[in-house]
Amino acid sequence: MNRDNDKGKVLLQRLSILTIGSILCVFLLIGRVYYLQVLQAEKYKMLADENRIATRMLIPPRGVIYDRNGEILASNEQNFQALIVAEQAANIDETLSKFKELMPLTPEEETKIREEIKAKRKFVPVKLKDNLTWEEVSKLQLNAPDMPGVIIDEGLNRSYPLGNYTAHFLGYVGAVSDTDLKDTDPLLMVPGFKIGKAGLEKFYESRLRGLGGNVKLEVNALGRVMQEIERSRGVEGENIYLTIDSRLQKVAQDAFGDNSGAAVVMDVHSGEILAFVSVPSFDPNLFTTGIGSKEWNELLTNPKKPLTNKAISGQYSPGSTFKIVVALAGLEAGVIRPDTQFNCTGVMQLGNHLFHCWRHSGHGPQNVVEALKNSCDIFFYQVAMELGIEKIAAMARRLGLGEKTGITLDHEREGLIPDEAWKLKRFGTKWQKGESVIAGIGQGYVLVTPLQLATMLSRVVNGGYEVSPTFQKLNLKEKDKIRKLAISKNNIDIVKRGMFEVVNGEHGTAMGARFNINGMKMGGKTGTTQVRRISLQERRSGIIKDEDLPWNLRNHALFVGFAPYENPRYAVAVVVEHGSSGSGVAAPIASKILQEALKLDIK
Amino acid sequence: MYKYYESGFKSQALSIKDKFYNINFGYVFCIMLLAGIGVLCLYSAAGGKWMPWAWPQFVRFSIGFGLMLALTLVDIKYYLKFAYISYFLVLLLLIAVEVGGHVGMGAQRWIDLKIFKIQPSELMKITMVLMLAKYFHGCTLNKIESLRGLVAPALMALFPAALIILQPDLGTALMLMFTTMAIFFVVGVQWWKFALLGGGAAVLAPIAWQFLHDYQKNRVLTFLNPERDPLGAGYHIIQSKIALGSGGVFGKGFLNGTQSHLNFLPEKHTDFIFTMWSEEFGMMGGALVILLNLILIVYGYLFAFRVTSYFGKLVIIGLNTNYFLYVFINIAMVLGLLPVVGVPLPLISYGGTVMLSVMASFGIILCMDVNRNINLGRSSFGDD
């Protein structure tokens, strides 16, 4: 019985220990609660917010691009798309088949949609079809009760109202690629964000883009949006006005018909580009709405290369249009004077080589104005021979040839103005006198782009001001900054006179293109350049007529022109690839363009 | 207020009225407060709705409350009388579940009686305590301190625990083992035996590890390092800590817990209900729940001190320790102090079985306390 008392005592002892132990354990819990909810509260508050708040970027509307008169060249168009939200659809199969009755889907499209529905969470919308027309939208909305789960959403698509008229200078926008990611703007990470990929869309990207806004959303663990917490609007992209006159642009491009080539119209005093044509062109809207592989292949394989910007990437022998440069160089160097005459017999011998004039019977005695008017080759052979290539090259470069104009577009080429050093470096041989002779009529190594030709002509007819082509209007300060080249006004007037005679003189090479609008007339210079070598044998047996050759072997046709003659405002350079004849094909196009420019009296 | 009865060799049964007056109403009040908090939590967990959890929980608590009162007023002699029988009956149920569970699909832990489901492992927690209390009630201290005297109770405790591990329900099995050990401890089993057991466990642990299910291993590994698998097994505990911590001192307000209501917090109406409560009411709310539970637990042990009969003391200690383990394991688990073992917070977590089982425990504890002056002889069953 004694031990029974002990049994009770032991129990009380042990029970005390157990009680105290339990109390200590509970205090451990309170300590832990204090640690988490007081000492670590800030850290966990942040983590909780990270959990529940999702920040989404808002894409700002991209800046609109206008022409000089305020007509829209590039804007943002509402894009309606049909989406399906799986959890709202009572039966996905029924909804889809009803949708298909209204808007046919290809089997590939349908499998893609079904896979996406399966892969994504039930409340995430999946795209059924986009770029819906108004008609399609209303048709879908009318039938909405039969298609639970189908919703219509609107986004913004870049649109180019003038389509292929503006493709070559505006460029286009496209999805962000890895190479664009040097740019650290978080907007680029937003799915569906489009970035300027080419042309002015690319050059003005930073101004057009604007600043992304963002919206803070409360989301649950599955990512479903519960409510909007706050929204910052961001900044819309800047609108940009170009120097292009869309009316002139259309006339200029249409003037080419089915031809392949390029034309640039410039304001001679500022260098502002009024029209910028490269044909054939393409419709940049195809890139936004999705281009089919067939259409894409057609663009790639078309022999007239619609994707190439010929106005800056096309390099052509300037041919006789280069005589403007040679004449001015000769006059400036004192090699010829206004009354200096050379007698054209149709052929000139240098060493044991014969150089022919395009007119085999010869032009007889010619001064510089007559030689320009008739495009006499012999006269310019002589001038070039006496000048030497270095002086020709120097004048050509002063007038903007042989180097990039700095126009704000990708893929501009330099062209080529050869000189002795270049030849030595390129071929390791000395410059030959005969090569200067050939260069004197713009053949041989000389290469120019249509944009360079327009720049060259502008610099000549504006009295020797060093204008550069631009798509942005110049302010007064910028206009004052344009340097004057040290070229005598008299010499410029003589060359201009020659160009007047080309168009308006009796038997001038471009007399067919002449016009007279209220006394305003055009001056200019034709050029026709061979794209094939004529063999000695062919020369003997008679040169094959151009129209008998396949298209891609025919001569290029060039014309540079300006108007009005008395007080020049507009300069145009036209190149028609394989157009056969500068006077017959290129000059009429230039004439049409300048007449339109004069009629529009562009402000 | 209390009526004292001479403890003689002839115990006197109390009248219902006497028993009622003997009930500790402070204790009952704490239970009601905690259950009230539970109903509030479930109302919030459902996004401010009575269904599907808060109302059924209230109904269950009401039933449980009736059960508690009934068990309080039952004649204390019957607990002693039916201790062994009830233990063996529940053991049979456990075996039935084990066999049935293997025949049926996957793991089954309950017997479906159509109206409600019986989870024998919950019942076992009570009957095990009664059985051990009766056994040690009849033992001399010599027998307790001898090895021979421990073989039978150890086996009787281990066998059901093993069955429950096989279900598999590691959490319940561990609670059963700890409760058993607590009883072994208070009756006076020597310290060195516990030390030996601890040493043996340390040696056997690597071997036992092999027999754990993959999900159990994951829970332990994840407990040791939650970042190991932040989207999988570690997700629960990480989100639970974020919810708690972000609640701060005063909480985010009723129905405003972002972690809970945006579903970052899993199992917010069952195992992680303490987290949800603490997110919305902060440290103040969390401490209130812990303190109410502490009061209940301390009350329980104080009852054990003042109850006269050895059997009554042991029954209270066993059941009270069981309740303490529930509370401690659940809260330590959601606080990231213990692995996630799937133990609910009694009175608050949604679930009928646990509600009824703890209310039954409270009833039995109160019964022991109500009859605190009745002496039950060691060798007799009270009547002689």
Distances (CA, A) of B351 to A176, B54, B101, B269, B358: 54, 11, 21, 9, 11
Q: For residue A49, which residues of chain B lie inside 8 Å, CB to CB? A: 246
Q: Which of A18, A33, A44 sits opposite B185 (nearest CB)?
A: A18
Query: Does A470 lie in the same domain as A350?
Result: yes
Q: For an interface test with B, give the residue of A3, A4, A5, A11 to mutate (most B CBs within 10 A).
A: A11
Q: What is the mean pLDDT of residues B148-176?
A: 87
Q: Do A37 and B140 touch (CB under 8 A)?
A: no
Helix (H, G, I), strand (E, B) or coil at A204: coil
> Worst-scoring range by mean pLDDT, A34-48, A305-319, B79-93, B366-380?
B366-380
The C-alpha of B95 sits at a distance from chain A's nearest C-alpha, in angstroms, of 32
Say if A155 falls within a structural domain. Answer: yes
Express as a percent the part of chain A with pLDDT over 90.
45
Query: Does A332 lie in the same domain as A234?
Result: no
Listing DSSP states for A553-583 in one string gives GSPEEEEEEEE-SSS--EEEEEEETT-S-II
Query: Does A255 lie in the same domain as A217?
Result: no
Give the integer Cα–Cα distance in Å for A496 and A543.
33
Distances (CA, A) of B287 to A33, A108, A585, B284, B334: 8, 61, 95, 5, 14
Query: Does A252 lie in the same domain as A235?
Result: no
Say if residue B105's pLDDT is above 60: no
Q: For an interface test with B, give the residue of A23, A36, A39, A219 to mutate (most B CBs within 10 A).
A: A36
Q: Do A47 and B304 touch (CB under 8 A)?
A: no
Task: Number of A to B CB contacts under 8 A, please give it.
Answer: 147
Say if A223 falls within a structural domain. Answer: yes
Catalytic residue chosen out of the listed positions A281, A320, A375, A581 = A320
What confidence score (pLDDT) does residue B6 get?
A: 43
Q: What is the mean pLDDT of residues B114-139?
A: 87
| Pairing between β-strand A65-66 and β-strand A240-241 as defined by DSSP bridges | parallel
Say if residue B11's pLDDT is above 60: no
Residues of chain A in Cβ contact (below 8 Å) with chain B: 3-4, 6-8, 10-12, 14-15, 17-19, 22-23, 25-26, 28-30, 32-34, 36-38, 40-41, 43-45, 47-49, 51-52, 218-222, 226
Cis-peptide, bond into residue B266, ω within 30° of zero: no
Q: What is the CATH number of the domain that holds A213?
A: 3.90.1310.10
Q: What is the CATH number of the domain that holds A423?
A: 3.40.710.10
Q: Do A48 and B332 touch (CB under 8 A)?
A: no
Count of alpha carbons within 13 angstroms of residue A101, beta-carbon side: 11
Final residue of a structural domain among A189, A211, A241:
A241
The C-alpha of B38 sits at a distance from chain A's nearest C-alpha, in angstroms, of 19
Give the integer Cα–Cα distance in Å for A88 and A91.
9
Say if residue B333's pLDDT is above 60: yes
Q: Do A47 and B242 touch (CB under 8 A)?
A: yes
Q: Return all residues near A89 (Cβ < 8 A) that are at least 6 apart.
A: A95, A147, A148, A149, A150
Q: For residue B332, which residues of chain A lie inside 8 Å, CB to CB? A: 28-29, 32
Nearest to A109 by CA among A91, A123, A92, A127: A127
Query: Does A93 lie in the same domain as A79?
Result: yes
Give the integer Cα–Cα distance in Å for A316 and A574.
11
Express as a percent the part of chain B with pLDDT over 70.
87
Say if residue B329's pLDDT is above 90: yes
Q: Which of A12, A33, A49 sits opposite B335 (nearest CB)?
A: A33
Q: Which of B287, B317, B336 sits opposite A15 (nearest CB)?
A: B317
CB crowding A2-36: b at 16 or more within 10 Å, else e:
eeeeebeebbeebbeebbeebeebbeebbebbeeb
Say if residue B13's pLDDT is above 80: no
Residue type, B164: I
Query: Does A571 lie in the same domain as A539?
Result: yes
Q: Do B141 and A33 touch (CB under 8 A)?
A: no
Give the integer Cα–Cα distance in Å for B303 and B305.
5
Final residue of a structural domain among A241, A264, A298:
A241
What confidence score (pLDDT) does residue B4 get?
A: 43
Which residue ranges of chain A lie beneath pLDDT 70? 1-3, 289-290, 536, 539
β-bridge mates for residue A267, sequence order:
A570
Q: Two tokens at A287?
A: 């890139």
What confidence score (pLDDT) does residue B232 get?
A: 65
What confidence score (pLDDT) does residue B224 get?
A: 66
Query: Does A233 lie in the same domain as A265?
Result: no
Q: Do B332 and A7 touch (CB under 8 A)?
A: no
What confidence score (pLDDT) does residue B383 get?
A: 39
Query: Does A236 lie in the same domain as A306?
Result: no
Q: What is the dihedral of CA A180, A181, A185, A191, to 10 degrees?
A: 80
Nearest to B300 by CA among A15, A9, A29, A13: A15
At B66, is the pLDDT very low, low, confident or very high (cuts 50, 70, 90)? very high
Q: Do B262 and A18 touch (CB under 8 A)?
A: no
Q: Two tokens at A33?
A: 């609660």
Average pLDDT, chain B: 86
Q: For an interface test with A, give the residue of B132, B244, B267, B288 to mutate (most A CBs within 10 A).
A: B244
DSSP state of A67: -
The C-alpha of B201 sits at a distance from chain A's nearest C-alpha, in angstroms, of 21
A442: left (phi over 0), alpha (psi -120 to 50) or beta: left
Q: How many CB atoms lie within 10 A of CB B232?
A: 10
β-bridge mates for residue B341, sequence order:
none
H or E stretch at A119: helix A107-119
What confidence score (pLDDT) does residue B8 get?
A: 42
Domain ranges, residue A193: 57-241
Q: How far apart are the first and last CA of chain A?
A: 125
Say if A213 falls within a structural domain. Answer: yes
Query: Does A310 lie in the same domain as A385?
Result: yes
Q: What is the mean pLDDT of residues B334-353?
A: 88
Distances (CA, A) of A30 to A25, A505, B328, B332: 9, 107, 11, 10
Q: How many CB atoms lie within 10 A of CB A87?
A: 11
Q: What is the pTM of this model?
A: 0.68
Query: Does A388 lie in the same domain as A371?
Result: yes
For this structure, is A488 an active site residue?
A: no
Say if residue B190's pLDDT is above 60: yes
Final residue of a structural domain among A241, A266, A281:
A241
Query: Does A166 lie in the same domain as A119?
Result: yes
Query: Does A261 lie in the same domain as A222?
Result: no
Residue A196 dihedral angles phi and psi, to the nearest 5°: -65, 120
Q: What is the largest CA-CA distance in chain A?
A: 156
**Number of domains chain A is built from:** 2
Nearest to B333 by CA among B213, B223, B228: B223
**Which residues in chain B belong to E strands, given as ranges?**
111-112, 117-118
Helix (H, G, I), strand (E, B) or coil at A412: coil
Q: Two tokens at A10?
A: 């032991």
Q: Please report where in the chains the tokens 């072997």 appear, as a residue.
A: A553
